[in-house]
């Protein structure tokens, strides 16, 4: 079953693109079929209501109602610090 992930940052362009590539590679390495959508942090609540992603990976704090959708910090995918822990958190959220 394909998993849907919303990757977001302040502008929905540069930072989220870097994170999306690294998240996509981590999911591929773990044999998880996925679809990644990118956007802004401000749009996260609307995206969740409309598209019901399985998880959100964000470089910034997500404010607003995203319901029960797990939010994973995208910072480790940028810095490499605690990246394996972030991958594990994402994989657990997608189970």
| pLDDT, position 86 | 98
Reference 38, options 9, 67, 2; nearest CA is 9
Half-sphere exposure of 88 (CA within 13 A, CB side): 4
Number of domains, the chain: 1
Residues involved in catalysis: 9
**pTM for the full predicted model:** 0.95
Tell me which residue range forms the domain holding 69: 3-93
CATH number for position 47: 3.40.50.2300
Please identify which residue in the block is written with the tokens 């997500």. Answer: 62
Measured CA to CA, the distance from residue 47 to residue 24 in angstroms comes to 19
pLDDT digits (tens, 9 = 90+) for 32-49: 999 999 999 999 999 999
């Amino acid at each position: 079953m394909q998993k849907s992930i919303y990757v977001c940052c302040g502008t929905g362009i540069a930072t989220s693109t870097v994170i999306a590539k690294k998240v996509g590679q981590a999911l591929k390495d773990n044999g998880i079929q996925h679809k990644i959508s990118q956007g802004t942090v401000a749009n996260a609540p609307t995206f969740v209501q409309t598209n019901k992603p399985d998880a959100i990976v964000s470089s910034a704090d997500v404010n607003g109602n995203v319901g029960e959708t797990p939010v994973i910090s995208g910072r480790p995918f940028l810095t490499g610090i605690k990246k394996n822990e972030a991958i594990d958190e994402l994989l657990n959220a997608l189970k």
